[in-house]
Amino acid sequence: MTIMEYVSTRGAAPVLDFEGVTLAGLANDGGLYLPREWPRMSEAEIRDLRGLSYAEVAIRIMRPFVAGSLSDDELSGLCHAVYGDFGHSAVAPLVQLDETHWLLELFHGPTLAFKDVALQMLGHLFETFLERRGERLTIVGATSGDTGSAAINAVAGRDRTEIFMLHPAGRVSEVQRRQMTTVRAPNVHNIAIDGSFDDAQRHVKAMFSDTSVNGPLNLGAVNSINWARLMAQVVYYFTSALQLGAPDRKVAYSVPTGNFGDVFAGYVAAQMGLPIERLIVATNVNDILHRALSDGDYSAGDTTATITPSMDIQVSSNFERLLFDCGGRDGAAMAAQMAEFDANRAMQLTNAQREGAAALFTSARADQDETARALQWVYRNTAQVIDPHTGVGLHASLNATEDQVAPGTPIVTLATAHPAKFRDAVERAVGVRPPLPPRVGDLFGREEHFTELAGDYETSRDFVLENASAAKG
Ligand SMILES: *Cc1c(COP(=O)(O)O)cnc(C)c1O
């Protein structure tokens, strides 16, 4: 098998292999890495996946992406280590709601959100590659809550990685915060910044292009700018579609969306040959993606805090990957378009980008009342309690029009978090307080550790430089 090569969306960074992009995170021209070409699976190859375990499907889906960086034995060892040990033996079980609606439960990992599915894998990949190179990695990440807890869980106590995680102070749920701040390990640093998630994400991106940081330190990324995360998320589109009849039947997905990572993984699955009829990008009132996909206007406003904090995002990093792929893969044009966006906080999509996106994507937006009504609908009809992020996705599924999804097509809503992670909002909507599952342990009895910092970039940067124990090499 040939080596898979990865190129930057902005065309000016070195071409890397899978090991290189996993450790690099963001490309050094400010772009995001994508495979040079999408690997294609034939209908027969997809049919052959039927009946395989989650770990076995993961091996087949990931194999072309890691070619040249992991042997078949290494890949198989990783997939079995990560997915053999999840809270649910199916890893991502599919639950039927009514004749056409399904939930894909992605919250059976250690920190109760779908982020675990990919970050548990990323933690193992880091160790494998760093061991091989004899290097250490300083991870800097921004979180609206779930990435932080999943990433910290994936690397706490490991030898070759140290993690600095920035979250917006007061804007994550208590369970989310405690899942980060009660982890006691010498390689974990929690930072609460006085600002929004977008501020935190901007600081992290700035550190990557700041040679005073990404020179003495070997920086790594756990946000979904890291390609390896998206790759791991492609797998559950396959396992769920297979259960619903793929490749002989098309399936639609509704994806609660923030940084556009999870839904972009669905796009990758479609490029690989999985017959996906439609991907519904479901947003809360922070609806820049809904506006961009419905009328081409990609303009950021101020972030509004909602009951779905993991989606309180204005600037969705991974959208650039879609615009690049649909817009003819022109790195120089993409760099110019993003420079315009950085200057004006607004840009127009090109016709090619709009048409390319419209072939597969549609979008919908849910406000808090609509989200609460979706939670109530499930509770009334199936006695299940879902989390508000999942509720945003379900609102979009239940209200999909015939030109968004053909009648009779199964619609899968991605259930991105366990309801106990957002139990105050859940209780307000349906009057039931979901208990924390035993696997999170004594979360409310443990001491919290975090540092509060002002919201400017320099303060975050200096904190990382002063507290990082790892010098490069
Ligand atoms: C991260 C997250 C999302 C948004 O996913 P993206 O990949 O950023 O679009 C939705 N729901 C929950 C619970 C999350 O943690």
pLDDT (0 to 100) of residue 100: 97
> Residue 92: pLDDT band by 50, 70, 90 thresholds?
very high
Per-residue confidence at 397, pLDDT binned at 50, 70, 90? Answer: very high
Question: pLDDT (tens digit, 9 = 90+) per residue, 234-264?
Answer: 999 999 999 999 999 999 999 999 999 999 9
Residues 180 and 302: their CA atoms lie apart, in Å, by 26
Long-range contacts of 96-100 (CB under 8 A, 24+ apart): 97/378, 97/381, 97/382, 97/384, 98/381, 100/408, 100/409, 100/410, 100/411
- Closest Cα to residue 191, out of 91, 34, 199, 347? 199
Of 48-52, 92-96, 126-130, 220-224, which gets the smallest average pLDDT? 220-224
β-bridge partners, 97: none
By C-alpha distance, which of 311, 316, 315 is closest to 388? Answer: 311
To test the pocket of ligand 1, the residue of 259, 293, 361, 422 to mutate (highest count of ligand atoms within 8 Å of its CB) is 259
- Alpha carbons 251 and 405: distance in angstroms, whole number: 9
Residues 188, 469: Cα–Cα separation, whole Å:
11
Predicted confidence at residue 28, as pLDDT, reads 87
pLDDT, one tens digit per residue, over 118-152 is 999 999 999 999 999 999 999 999 998 899 999 99
**Rounded mean pLDDT, 294-301:** 91
Q: What is the mean pLDDT of residues 35-60?
A: 97
Res. 64: pLDDT tops 80: yes
Cα–ligand 1 centroid distance for 215 (angstroms): 31
Helices (H), 156-286: 174-181, 197-208, 227-243, 261-271
Looking at the chain, the whole-number percentage of residues with pLDDT higher than 90 is: 89
Q: Which atom of ligand 1 is nearest the CA belonging to 261?
A: 7
Cα–ligand 1 centroid distance for 416 (angstroms): 7
Index of the ligand 1 atom closest to the CA of residue 233: 7
Give dist(CA 223, CA 389) in Å, integer.
Answer: 18
137-163 per-residue burial string, b: 16 or more CB within 10 A, e: under 16: bbbbbbbbbbbbbbbbbbbbebebbbb
| Distance from the alpha carbon of residue 259 to the mean position of ligand 1, in angstroms | 7
Of these residues, 115, 205, 250, 421, which one is catalytic? 115
Distance of alpha carbon 125 from alpha carbon 230, whole angstroms: 13
* Ligand 1 centroid, distance to 401 Cα (angstroms): 24
**Whose CA is closest to 106, among 98, 97, 95?**
95
Q: What is the dihedral of CA 271, 272, 274, 276, to 10 degrees?
A: -10
Mark whether 250 is an active-site residue. no
Summary mean pLDDT of the chain: 95
| Ligand 1 atom 14: residue of nearest CA | 310
What average pLDDT does range 449-458 have in this prediction? 96
Mean pLDDT value of segment 383-390: 98
- Asked if residue 1 has pLDDT above 80, the reply is no
Cα(455)–Cα(226) distance, integer angstroms: 24
User: What distance, in Å, lies between the first and last C-alpha atoms of the chain?
Assistant: 31
Asked if the bond preceding 39 is cis, omega within 30° of 0, the reply is no
Mean pLDDT of 151-163: 95
d(CA 265, CA 369): 29
User: Using an 8 Å Cβ cutoff, are 17 and 221 in contact?
Assistant: no
For helices 423-430 and 368-382, the axis angle rounded to 10 degrees is: 70
Which protein residue has the closest C-alpha to ligand 1 atom 8?
Answer: 259
Pair of tokens at residue 160: 């070759």
pLDDT of residue 471: 54
Site to substitute for ligand 1 among 311, 317, 394, most atoms within 8 A of C-beta = 311
| Model pLDDT, residue 470 | 63
pTM: 0.95
Rounded to the nearest angstrom, the distance between the alpha carbon of 164 and the centre of ligand 1 is 20
pLDDT of 194-233, one tens digit each?
999 889 989 998 998 899 999 999 999 998 889 999 999 9
Q: What are the helix (H) ranges across 288-398?
A: 288-295, 319-326, 331-344, 351-358, 368-382, 388-398
Whether residue 472 has pLDDT greater than 50: no
CA distance 30 to 24: 11
Rg (CA), the chain: 21
The token pair that represents 172 in the structure block:
């994550």
CA distance 371 to 286: 13
Ligand 1 pocket test, pick from 231, 290, 310 with the greatest ligand atom count within 8 Å of Cβ, gives 310
Ligand 1: residues whose CB is within 6 Å?
Answer: 113, 115, 146, 224, 256-262, 310-311, 389, 416-417
Specify the 3-state DSSP secondary structure of 116. Answer: helix
Q: Please give the average per-residue pLDDT across 403-428, as a whole number.
A: 96
pLDDT in tens, 319-332: 999 999 999 999 99
Mean pLDDT over 111-118 rounds to: 96
